[in-house]
Structure 1
Amino acid sequence: MERKTKTGGQLIVEALEAQGAERVFCVPGESYLAVLDGLYDSQIPVTVCRQEGGAAMMAEAYGKLTGRPGICMVTRGPGATNAAAGVHVAQQDATPMILFVGQIETGMRERDAFQEVNYRQMFGGMAKWVAEIDHAARVPEFISRAYHVATSGRPGPVVLALPEDMLVEEVHAQVAPMMQPVESYPSAQQMADLDMMLKAARNPMVIIGGSRWTETARDQLTRFAERYDLPVAVAFRRQMLFDHLHPNYAGDVGIGINPKLKARVEQADLLLVVGDILSEMASQSYTLLEIPVPQQKLVHVHPGPEELGRVYAPTLAINASPLAFASMLEDLRPSVAPAWSAHRDEAHQDYLAWSGARPEVPGDLQMAQVVDWLENNLPDDAIIANGAGNYATWVHRFHRFRRYGSQLAPTSGSMGYGLPAAIAGKLKHKERMVLCFAGDGCLQMTMQELGTAAQENANIIVIVVDNGIYGTIRMHQEREYPGRVSATTLQNPAFARIAEAYGFYSATIRSAEEFGPAFEQAAAGNRPALLHLLLDPEAITPVKSLTAIREESQKA
């Protein structure tokens, strides 16, 4: 019996189905109409977004939550350039993602055709692999390879360009089987070496971060920390990797680090770093550890061999994924009671004091009271998404993450991430409460995706912390150029009214006392919601006002 031919567009969809793709995020374009036609007959849900940057961020967040590539489709030229924002997040956050980009016909190359872009040049330094599929028969091969590349070693984004003529070409092609990520495991000798180093240590510490974790791996590492009485810190915006109320938790190594935790890392005689690369934010601008040879003995565990020794020369380098490494930890047992139990207790108490502080800030709305209400009322499995800005400090320092998969935050520091990420989180976990924290500047980067949330019935709760300025930039500006305000003031809309126009429940909050009742109404409604919090611009950080920052700079 003769096999039926299929178009390149149909083969793209067939290959995604074979790889178990759960959802496609897209902004439609005429350059890949054949793929959209293929999706018409597919069971893969399609989320129609408002702008390609939001679509790519949703796909990236979906990849974070699932460990398999998030799928984004955009049109050529402007569509691809807009989507680059999400590709950059995936690259810096080590998230598996595949971006499909429409492309001009192959016969028009090098003529500056309509919206023509060389995607290998454009994305070459950002994506793990960039390719164009010139022949429809090779679609299954390219997509199988894309899945392998996106998930192997240090995960990241792959970009596949789809020429229009290839997408309508009809061919026979064999479907590739579902890819399973390849795990790299430590050797028995490496685990024995780690055991010996732990036995010789007097003040060890663990720092965990990166990607390729699972709930099982987190539980296995937690049990290891319990057996050895090890203090465990998490890297920047990877706080969901350890229960914050666990007695072994020491805090997060990121922006605004607890000074006592910073001192503990510096004074440790053994650092076990699992999954993270200790880049700029976690390393306190590359000052926390000496480069290239740290003073501490360093055991660096990472799935990407290229990351081992790239910045820090480890005492013991282990090329292994967190999932594989954590499974091997189950066999390690201390032969005697650890000598550093008191350090572990002190580290956790220092964290509780640091995160339990409730500083008063200028203005009528006290964010400390808002945080208290959320801490007392949010379910442990609530997912919190945020972008970038000073407002995020209220989440990162004061919220106590308890469950795996409860955080969506960009280590790349990308503004606009919170709203798209929250939508992706709700589409993946409809049964869970999903919050988006966003500053006024941050929200307006991707605010049009409120329409996506409404259309998808993604009943998220958006909390907008509005101080009328680009807060982080103003803070730096006042420190470096006190009193010389330039390009950091915002004239904002009535966010609640905009959300209401999209069909959201909305409320404007001027005091902390108004927050609890408004949040309860938002959570009780069967629709998305937005709470607009009006914060005094002087409340630039939880510990310092703008005036204090300016005065300190002037004195200096």
Structure 2
Amino acid sequence: MKASDLFVKALESEGVEYIFGIPGEENLDLLESLSNSSIKLILTRHEQAAGFMAATIGRLTGKVGVCMSTLGPGATNLVTAAAYAQLAGMPMLMVTGQKPIKSSKQGQFQIIDVVDMMHPITKYTRQISSGDSIPSRVREAFRLAAEEKPGATHLELPEDIAKEETDHQPLDESLARRPVAEGKSVARAVELLTKAKHPLVVIAAGANRKLTATQLSEFIDSLQIPFITTQMGKGVVDERHPLFLGNATLSSGDFLHRAIEKADVILNVGHDVVEKPPFFMEQGERQVIHVNFNSAAVDAVYFPQVEVIGDIANSIWQLNKGLKPQAHWDFTWFMKCRTATEEHIAEGCDAPEFPVRPQRLVADVREVMPDDGIIALDNGIYKIWFARNYKAHQPNTVLLDNALASMGAGLASAMAAKIVHPDRPVIAICGDGGFMMNSQELETAVRLKLDLIVLILTDKAYGMIKWKQEHMEFNDYGLDFANPCFVKYADSYGASGHLLESTEDLAPLIKKCHQQGGIHLIDVPVDYSENDRILNEELPKLSAEL
């Protein structure tokens, strides 16, 4: 068969259902092979969005998402998405085209060393130099993309190689089981937790993969140890749980940081150095147990005393079997911190002022979304409010990026979520800055006939940086812009545009859009004027007075 046919058969063998991207002339053989396959090509309007969508497929399914581009500028447009997947642990394969490598008559036109470019931001990057090597290259790219820690891989398929004839066949996936933690490390962790007076569980990014949610929920229910989450650990355990103390959104000064200071042993599950640390360690201050697929990356603020390395779900199961609730465990202070957090989050939830305040925005979105509804956050100051105030009821129902923290991913991520879960409500929540970075994908969403709501939170500025500029006492300079009329912008794509004119109308409008179906853009003017007062002044003062 033709090598491009073999490549597509190898993708089918790996269970690929979708491939996102923009083909170029160097991909034409691959494109024809895809047309005769079970894989659906989803044409996007920018390669970056294709990469964000493929990465989100990987995040939600645990299977490798696939995207494609041509050579040169198409490939360079995938770089941000590659870093997005690599840092956040999302399994993804990028397939890029290339000019003929055995003979070329076009010199260096559009040619850069894409493999070398991808090397620092992927787990595996190779040029396919022979049709016969396709089965092993594809299998290895998928194996490494999905293996802990998941991430990005890349294969370059040159135009002349794609045309080659080959009689090879795809390789089957090998049967593999993740290793489990060694008994002595589990025993030492059990000993530390048993002797502790104020143990605390921290649930981080690595715990938000595989089948850890059930084991962690059973662990917490059985032992009644309070827990906190990082931004990318949200939803692993239902955050309505009475032992949930809050989300480590802020670096310091929140009520949960008072709980962390009281803890003498922290069970840190799935810690990933790509996230801002939920706590900073000091020598002799407290014991930390690192539970993860891989050993700890030690730095100045993280140096655990015990490491339980292996499949996280199995490690938690082993710890649960070995532990019993202890009469000397004292969580009184933790519950005081929890009460203070709940009271503070409740403030402003019914604020009637317009433009909308962030607290009211979060409360209204939470009110209208069912337990399994998905919000996909772009990056901006609102991400802090949603991470801290919005309680996730199920895993992967709050899609945020606290690793690369790239703007422009919110809409694409929401589209991928809707493809994976067509029967679940999905809302993309974007600032006006981030939305405009990939707003052209509205056409893709309309063409795919998705049911999707996009909240555009408008303040006509790069608000996160503007907030920090103000807090750090710099002059107000260089961060303001103008917007198009988002209602007309939506209409021009065949979507439905809405301008919110009253805070009281927000929740009813979201409900109405869900019921109508189709693509809806809601322009939501937001008032961030109290960010500094609440987050940088009020919270540290209140938490210090506990």
Taking the aligned partners of 1:67 and 1:438, their CA distance within structure 2 comes to 25
| Structure 1 residue 341: Cα displacement | 3.7
1:64 equivalent to 2:59? Answer yes
Helix, strand or coil for the counterpart of 2:235?
helix
Taking the aligned partners of 1:200 and 1:28, their CA distance within structure 2 comes to 60
Taking the aligned partners of 1:80 and 1:476, their CA distance within structure 2 comes to 34
- Check 1:542–1:70 CA distance in 2 against 1; reply closer, same or farther (3 A cut): farther
Alignment correspondent of 1:551: none
Alignment correspondent of 1:553: none
| Structure 1 residue 180: Cα displacement | 5.8
The amino acid of 1:296's aligned partner reads: R
Alignment correspondent of 1:371: 362
Alignment correspondent of 2:184: 189
- Check 1:7–1:84 CA distance in 2 against 1; reply closer, same or farther (3 A cut): same
The amino acid of 2:453's aligned partner reads: I
- Check 1:112–1:236 CA distance in 2 against 1; reply closer, same or farther (3 A cut): farther
- Check 1:370–1:252 CA distance in 2 against 1; reply closer, same or farther (3 A cut): closer
Taking the aligned partners of 1:79 and 1:179, their CA distance within structure 2 comes to 33
1:328-349 CA-partner distances (Å, limit 9, x unpaired): 3442331644512434533432
| Structure 1 residue 197: Cα displacement | 1.0
1:456 equivalent to 2:451? Answer no
| Structure 1 residue 371: Cα displacement | 2.9
Counterpart pick for 1:299 among 283, 289, 292: 289
- Check 1:480–1:63 CA distance in 2 against 1; reply closer, same or farther (3 A cut): same
The amino acid of 1:466's aligned partner reads: T
Alignment correspondent of 1:41: 36
1:494 equivalent to 2:489? Answer no
- Check 1:264–1:212 CA distance in 2 against 1; reply closer, same or farther (3 A cut): closer
Taking the aligned partners of 2:420 and 2:532, their CA distance within structure 1 comes to 33
- Check 1:490–1:29 CA distance in 2 against 1; reply closer, same or farther (3 A cut): same
Taking the aligned partners of 1:494 and 1:303, their CA distance within structure 2 comes to 48
1:432 equivalent to 2:427? Answer no
Alignment correspondent of 1:346: 336
Taking the aligned partners of 1:331 and 1:119, their CA distance within structure 2 comes to 49
Helix, strand or coil for the counterpart of 1:205?
strand
| Structure 1 residue 87: Cα displacement | 0.8
Taking the aligned partners of 1:76 and 1:212, their CA distance within structure 2 comes to 36
Taking the aligned partners of 2:495 and 2:281, their CA distance within structure 1 comes to 47
Alignment correspondent of 2:543: none
1:531 equivalent to 2:522? Answer yes
1:119-144 CA-partner distances (Å, limit 9, x unpaired): 23212111111111111111110111
Helix, strand or coil for the counterpart of 2:266?
strand
Taking the aligned partners of 1:542 and 1:61, their CA distance within structure 2 comes to 35
Helix, strand or coil for the counterpart of 2:59?
helix
Alignment correspondent of 1:137: 132
Alignment correspondent of 2:438: 446
Counterpart pick for 1:8 among 3, 14, 17: 3
| Structure 1 residue 256: Cα displacement | 5.8
The amino acid of 2:241's aligned partner reads: H
1:355-434 equivalences in 2 (<5 Å): 355-358=345-348, 363-411=354-402, 412-434=404-426
1:468 equivalent to 2:460? Answer yes
1:332 equivalent to 2:322? Answer yes
Q: How many residues align?
A: 535
- Check 1:295–1:7 CA distance in 2 against 1; reply closer, same or farther (3 A cut): farther
Alignment correspondent of 1:255: 250
Taking the aligned partners of 2:215 and 2:144, their CA distance within structure 1 comes to 27
- Check 1:219–1:544 CA distance in 2 against 1; reply closer, same or farther (3 A cut): closer
Q: Retained in 2: the 8 A contact 1:362–1:539?
A: no
Alignment correspondent of 1:122: 117
Alignment correspondent of 2:544: none
Structure 2: gaps spanning 5 or more residues: 539-546
Q: Retained in 2: the 8 A contact 1:131–1:159?
A: yes
Q: Retained in 2: the 8 A contact 1:91–1:127?
A: yes
Q: Retained in 2: the 8 A contact 1:308–1:317?
A: no
1:348-405 CA-partner distances (Å, limit 9, x unpaired): 3243224323275975434433333323221111001011111223321221110122
Percent identical:
26
- Check 1:212–1:38 CA distance in 2 against 1; reply closer, same or farther (3 A cut): farther
Taking the aligned partners of 2:285 and 2:116, their CA distance within structure 1 comes to 40
1:199 equivalent to 2:190? Answer no
| Structure 1 residue 172: Cα displacement | 0.9
Alignment correspondent of 2:272: 277
Q: Retained in 1: the 8 A contact 2:453–2:520?
A: yes
Taking the aligned partners of 1:257 and 1:21, their CA distance within structure 2 comes to 42
Taking the aligned partners of 2:5 and 2:401, their CA distance within structure 1 comes to 33
1:150-165 equivalences in 2 (<5 Å): 150-165=145-160
The amino acid of 2:415's aligned partner reads: I
Alignment correspondent of 1:242: 237
Taking the aligned partners of 1:266 and 1:23, their CA distance within structure 2 comes to 47
The amino acid of 2:347's aligned partner reads: A
1:316 equivalent to 2:312? Answer no
- Check 1:370–1:259 CA distance in 2 against 1; reply closer, same or farther (3 A cut): closer
Taking the aligned partners of 2:533 and 2:417, their CA distance within structure 1 comes to 28
TM-score by length of 2: 0.92
Taking the aligned partners of 1:72 and 1:132, their CA distance within structure 2 comes to 16
| Structure 1 residue 93: Cα displacement | 0.5
Taking the aligned partners of 1:57 and 1:352, their CA distance within structure 2 comes to 34
1:161-181 CA-partner distances (Å, limit 9, x unpaired): 111111111101122113566
More off after superposition, 404-413 vs 135-144: 404-413
Taking the aligned partners of 1:361 and 1:276, their CA distance within structure 2 comes to 39
Q: Retained in 1: the 8 A contact 2:234–2:396?
A: no
- Check 1:147–1:179 CA distance in 2 against 1; reply closer, same or farther (3 A cut): farther
| Structure 1 residue 213: Cα displacement | 4.1
Taking the aligned partners of 1:193 and 1:326, their CA distance within structure 2 comes to 14
Counterpart pick for 2:48 among 41, 53, 72: 53
More off after superposition, 130-139 vs 431-440: 130-139
| Structure 1 residue 531: Cα displacement | 0.6
Q: Retained in 1: the 8 A contact 2:54–2:92?
A: yes
Helix, strand or coil for the counterpart of 1:106?
coil
Helix, strand or coil for the counterpart of 1:107?
coil
Taking the aligned partners of 2:535 and 2:254, their CA distance within structure 1 comes to 16
Q: Retained in 2: the 8 A contact 1:104–1:114?
A: no
- Check 1:114–1:98 CA distance in 2 against 1; reply closer, same or farther (3 A cut): same
Taking the aligned partners of 1:455 and 1:223, their CA distance within structure 2 comes to 43
- Check 1:229–1:346 CA distance in 2 against 1; reply closer, same or farther (3 A cut): farther
The amino acid of 2:449's aligned partner reads: N
- Check 1:239–1:513 CA distance in 2 against 1; reply closer, same or farther (3 A cut): same
The amino acid of 2:315's aligned partner reads: F
Q: Retained in 2: the 8 A contact 1:474–1:485?
A: yes
The amino acid of 2:356's aligned partner reads: L
Structure 1: gaps spanning 5 or more residues: 1-5, 549-556
Helix, strand or coil for the counterpart of 1:396?
helix
- Check 1:363–1:526 CA distance in 2 against 1; reply closer, same or farther (3 A cut): closer
More off after superposition, 112-121 vs 493-502: 112-121
Q: Retained in 2: the 8 A contact 1:69–1:97?
A: yes
